[in-house]
Amino acid sequence: MVFGAAMLREVNLMLILGGMLFGPLLFNWRLAVATLRGLEVRRTIPRGICAGDLLVVQLELANTRRGLGSWAVSVRERIRREGNSSAGNADVTEHFLYIPAGGAAVRTYRGQLSQRGLYRWEPIRASTGFPFGLFRRDVLLGNGDTLTVFPRLGRLTQGWIRRRHESFEGAHRRERRHSRVSGDFYGVREWRHGDSRRWIHWRSTARHGTLVVRQFEQHRNRDVAVLLDLWQPDEPSAEQRENVELAVSFTATVVADVCRRLGSKVLLGIAAPEPEFVGGAGSMVLLEDFMGRLALVEAAGGDRLPQLLDEALRRVDPGTEVVIVSTRDVHLEDARRFAALWSDPQRRAWARQIRVVTTAPSDLDRYFQAD
């Protein structure tokens, strides 16, 4: 405005004043553009965490230019949770005072993601108004990242352990024991009458001066099938949503306990429009697969538990411990609802050993404590 008025009135002093006002603005714009040129960002996030765990994210901002440092750079992170709910979304801003030419600066921020699910980090928005703050420049740096937040793990109570041990009574057990049949070699012992000659360990025999045979052990543990039935109405209340999270957390804790013991086969079934199953020998790799699936599972209406149970009993061996975790009351005695269970005599005998755990406080509190 000053410069325009000076041009119309041909006042030299006002032209000089307009130039003095325009100069810092032009200098600020030019330096802000140069400050953000050549910046590269690298974000380091965990591979996976449980809901409620400490989240540590490291940002490294590198200046690839050789002759000019970058001052007063702010970076903004936008974290979005996949799904219809906006709960869990967050914005984080970090400030870098100075990034030397050819160097880098590191900032770390911490927080908590309280809900399970898939979270996405959008590309970082870097900005600066250096040096005068008259003009601000924004650029997008880097790529997006994703993080799967696993269900929160709790603690199984003595009531759960006691009930599981009681369910072994009269059932087909597979215990860890030393046996004469072939298995995993773990040591040697003196030869006994009836031992096969193929078991003789000749090197140890020569060293001890007496016949020594290999000794094996077999890993015998009871297999487990956990069936998750997440039901909720179309318009759930806050308590019903909490029941869903409790059921998922309890299921994750159970399969984690079985996988860490090793030696057992584990099957996880999830009630969905088409029953979803994943299983195998208990291991930490399988546990990670379980946790990833449980992190993304959603509750829905409808009654899919009978189909899930029917398909699960087709997949498991007799004697497998079957546990149903549901957000509503389940009565296996209902022959109409569970017709496939009661129409088969073998399954009918099996039904008495199936354990049902619901999210009702009187039921879940006996077996599980959320941390």
Judged against a pLDDT cut of 60, whether residue 178 lies above it is answered with: no
In this structure, what are the phi and psi dihedrals at residue 223, rounded to the nearest 5 degrees? -75, 155
348 or 184, greater pLDDT: 348
DSSP 128-147: E-TTTSSS-EEEEES--EEE
pLDDT at 100: 95
- Dist CA 128 CA 96 (whole Å): 10
Which residues is 349 bridged to in the sheet?
none
The arithmetic mean of pLDDT across residues 265-281, rounded, is: 90
Domain with CATH 2.60.40.10 in the chain: 38-150
Q: For the segment 65-97, what is each residue's pLDDT rounded down to a tens digit?
A: 988 999 999 999 999 998 766 677 889 999 999
* Rounded distance between C-alpha atoms, residue 182 and residue 250, angstroms: 37
Domain with CATH 3.40.50.410 in the chain: 155-173+222-369
In whole angstroms, what is the distance from residue 91 CA to residue 97 CA? 20
Burial status of residue 367 (CB atoms within 10 A of its CB: 0-12, 13-18, 19 or more):
buried
Residue 263 has pLDDT above 80, yes or no: no
Tell me which of 105-114, 118-127, 210-219, 276-285 is least confident.
210-219
pLDDT of 138-174, one tens digit each? 999 999 999 999 999 999 998 888 777 666 554 544 4
CATH superfamily label, 38-150: Immunoglobulins (2.60.40.10)
**Average of per-residue pLDDT values in the chain:** 86
> Cβ distance 32 to 130 under 8 Å?
yes
Q: How confident is the model at residue 194 (pLDDT cuts 50, 70, 90)?
A: low
Antiparallel, parallel or unpaired: β 184-190 and 177-179: unpaired
Nearest to residue 271, comparing CAs of 236, 319, 303, 249? Answer: 303
**Distance separating alpha carbons of residues 316 and 266, to the nearest angstrom:** 9
pLDDT of residue 173: 45
Question: What is the CB-side half-sphere exposure of residue 368 using CA atoms within 13 A?
Answer: 24
What CATH architecture is 155-173+222-369?
Answer: 3-Layer(aba) Sandwich (3.40)
Residue 180 has pLDDT above 50, yes or no: no
| Mean pLDDT for the stretch of residues 257-278 | 88
Element at 60 (helix H, strand E): strand 54-63
pLDDT at 343 (0 to 100):
86
Euclidean distance between CA atoms 56 and 111, whole angstroms: 7
Q: Which of 34, 3, 30, 5 is nearest to 134 (CA)?
A: 30
The answer for 20, left when phi > 0, alpha when psi is -120 to 50, beta otherwise, is: alpha
Rounded Cα distance, 245 and 247, in Å: 5
> What was the pLDDT predicted at 286?
94
